[in-house]
Copies of this chain bind each other. A is one copy, B any other.
Amino acid sequence: MARHIMTLTCDDRPGIVAAVSDALLKVDANIVENQQFSDEDTNLFFMRTVFDAESDDVATVLTAIDSSDAIEHQHLAVRPEDERCRTLILVSKFDHCLLDLLYRWKSGDLPIDIVGVVSNHEDCRALVEYYGLPFTLIPVTADTKRDAETELMKLVEAEDVQLVVLARYMQILSDWLCEQLAGRAINIHHSFLPGFKGAKPYHQAHDRGVKLVGASAHYVTADLDEGPIIEQDVVRVTHAETPSRLVAIGRDVERRVLSNAVRAHAESRIFLSGRRTIVF
């Protein structure tokens, strides 16, 4: 028996849970975890089920669920739990989020395979190579942006990348690239969104005199800093913190929030419902 994760999004109506659990019971699968949520705003139903089953039986389960009358307009997927999410990391010069991802990947804390790291600067090459991963320099200027993005997308396709992580990547993606990566690119924004969008959020926070600073991980969309929020956290600060100290304090929150968002994505815990996320 192998452990699998099934994710289902469909119209909300009676009988969905019965249809899924019957399909699993018929092949003697054992449900290990089960989460579900009905979103009244969108009338969508979301379900994440972890089950143990013979690998040969998984196709039978999918067919049974597919043919159920209870389940309409579905998005249905199953994967072995030990299949790791193929991940590409983008970074510029700040390496705190990158290091945290690399460390957690190597220590087994993040169920991802990192296929490589892309940067528009050379700064992080040594760190990436210490971890035995390929580092690809793709410089970006106003003139070369289109070419750089094309090169990036070629890499995404060649490596069958399932998740792109913008770990303090300081380039704004074009609408075209945002669309290509829709639902599979996570960015870390160094503020508690929707407060302090845009540049220099810690300086904005200092000027406004807030008593907490935070970070937000969100899916990338063409609408900058407005993508669906996955995870947020804050840390308490005082009047005595300078903007540069806020930046240092913020690094801890940023790396924690980004790593948690990546883990949730890699464990198939995140669903999109309109502009909001469901995170089981």
Contacts and interface: CB of A to CB of B under 8 A. Distances in A.
Interface residues of A, number: 63
B278 A239 contact: yes
A218 to B, nearest CB: 9
A211 B251 CA distance: 19
B192 A209 contact: no
A62 interface: no
Contacts of A28: 14
Report copies per complex.
4
A263 B29 CA distance: 35
28 contacts: A14-B25, A14-B30, A15-B25, A17-B21, A17-B24, A18-B22, A18-B25, A21-B21, A33-B36, A35-B35, A39-B239, A96-B107, A107-B251, A109-B248, A192-B195, A193-B195, A193-B208, A194-B196, A194-B208, A207-B276, A209-B277, A212-B214, A212-B233, A212-B234, A234-B234, A238-B279, A239-B278, A239-B279
Given A209-B276, A210-B229, A239-B277, 17 more contacts: A14-B25, A14-B28, A17-B34, A18-B21, A34-B34, A35-B35, A37-B240, A95-B107, A96-B107, A99-B103, A192-B192, A192-B195, A194-B210, A209-B228, A209-B275, A211-B279, A239-B276
